Amino acid sequence: MWWRCCCSASCGMIDGPTPLHLIEKPTPGTGATLMVDAIATILTGAGASVMTEGRDDEEWRKRVTAKLRQIPSIVLIDNLRARLDSSAVAAALTAPFWEDRILGASEMARLPIRCLWIATGNNPEFSNEMARRLVRIRLDANVERPWQRSDFRHPDLMIWVRANRARLVAACLTLCQAWIAAGRPRGSRSIGSFENWAHVIGGVLEVAGIPGFLGNLEEMMEASDSEGGAWNGFIASWWDRFGTAEVGASDVLDLATAADPKIPIGREGKIIDTAELGRPHRVDLNMPTQPLCSAA
């Protein structure tokens, strides 16, 4: 991730959005926040500024606006507990600018988005909309209480990072310069909406002989696409029963309520009814909003 910091923040070599770097772990105390602090200290000389998760999309939007007004180098969403499903965050991850009304004022702000996005959490869950906008970084200490470990090369990592920051920055810039000297080759793997990021970071790592960039992308998408699996099962059942015939919401209500896993319609814990089925639903921000079926 610090390659992205050096390439983008220092040289502006990444022309486009960057995905959310999700640092996940199976248990607390594994070191995700420490990892982010080390990255932030290399980039800025200080720890990362934290943005906590919002309770709903309106609160997410306000927090994103407040954070981007600070023109941050890094936006850290620390310790995700609830399922990450925010159209505001999804939009910010793929947009060059963020526009929103300033809280307590009547004026609109138009803010550039030139930051590294990071989130941490213990086995976090996220919507299908967010899944294609993130890259997964899995930390697993393979012990029951990782915070009790003591066999570290650098027992106090942050003291070592601050003492060696100049060397670490030089090492990162050397990797970037080696990529430039090699003719800026494009990375061999890409990800939709973040092509320039993938080509630059993948190219830097390949020139340095570091394999595995985006190597777990398909595995992550398959594991995280619970929404897609739910929709696929529901639509398959719909097709088996009705084929191409036009149906009303009441006709497929029993299929929707019996779907396993549950299709993501309505509020959490609310029973699916014909009103919910007849309401427009959207699986992805780039897809038009359409009703699943007529409300008749």
Per-residue confidence (pLDDT) for residue 261, from 0 to 100: 62
Per-residue confidence (pLDDT) for residue 205, from 0 to 100: 95
CA–CA gap between residue 283 and residue 288 (Å, rounded) = 9
* The CATH number of domain 2-223 is 3.40.50: yes
Backbone angles phi, psi at 53, to 5 degrees: -70, 155
Per-residue confidence (pLDDT) for residue 9, from 0 to 100: 42
Which tops the pLDDT comparison, 216 or 34? 34
Q: What is the pLDDT of residues 98-149, one digit of tens each?
A: 999 877 777 788 999 989 999 999 988 888 788 889 999 999 998 889 989 8
39 — pLDDT class (breaks 50, 70, 90): very high
Within its chain, how far is the Cα of 232 from the centroid? Answer: 23
Q: What is the pLDDT of residues 196-252, one digit of tens each?
A: 999 999 999 999 999 989 988 777 666 555 566 677 777 888 888 888 888 887 888
CA distances from 179 to 167, 229, 260 (A): 19, 40, 48
**In contact, 120 and 32? CB cutoff 8 Å:** yes
Q: What's the mean pLDDT when you consider all of the chain?
A: 83
Report residue 179 as tokens. Answer: 């990529």
**In contact, 239 and 255? CB cutoff 8 Å:** no
Label residues 233-250 b or e (16+ Cβ within 10 Å = b).
Answer: bbeebbeeeeeeeebebe
284 — pLDDT class (breaks 50, 70, 90): very low
Longest dimension (CA), the chain: 69
Provide the H-helix boundaries in 225-296. Answer: 226-242, 249-258, 274-278
82 Cβ partners below 8 Å, 6+ apart? 53, 55
First-to-last C-alpha distance (Å) of the chain? 51
**In contact, 40 and 46? CB cutoff 8 Å:** yes
Find the mean pLDDT for residues 31-37. Answer: 92
* Domain range summary for the chain, segments of one domain joined by +: 2-223, 226-291
Per-residue confidence (pLDDT) for residue 4, from 0 to 100: 46
CA–CA gap between residue 240 and residue 232 (Å, rounded) = 12
CA distances from 273 to 8, 109, 222, 257, 291 (A): 48, 40, 29, 8, 14
